[in-house]
Amino acid sequence: MKTIKSFSAILLCISFSFIALSAKAGDPLEKWEKNNPDASRELGKWVSKHKDAAHYIFEWDGSHHEKAEALVKWAVKHPSENLAKFHRQHKDWPELDEIEKTHKRAFEEFLIWCKNYTDAANALMEHPNGLKWAGDHLWREAREMKEE
């Protein structure tokens, strides 16, 4: 009986530890940058390098979060695939035509960011318009740095 109680206590402790470690994914957006400093910094670099593409995807997330979320989650699950493959699977999304035509290289780099920072990318996409929020936040910081 003592063995079963001890085993149950250990399982309970492990369960609580796992919950504490995974709580990061459910954190509010305001904690995203603090919880994902490397991913935030790299996304900020991508924004600085590809301002037009960044604006496009952030606005796309704001108006079509479910599609932006599908793209990010697909990138995370298919790390060896490229944007063209996703586009072939979603020919009815006119946004992808524009992305392929105007922002292809930048979006390929964004998909690499998603693949390199899967937890951070998924955490953003858990929130409706999370990517737009990050973009707005990063844009504000970039503007403030320019003005200094």
Condensed to tens digits (0 to 9), the pLDDT of residues 70-85 reads: 999 999 999 999 899 9
CA distances from 18 to 8, 10, 14, 21 (A): 15, 12, 6, 5
Rounded to the nearest integer, the mean pLDDT of the chain is: 81
Q: Which residue has better confidence, 43 or 8?
A: 43
Global confidence as pTM: 0.75
What is the band of 3 on the pLDDT scale with cuts at 50, 70, 90? low
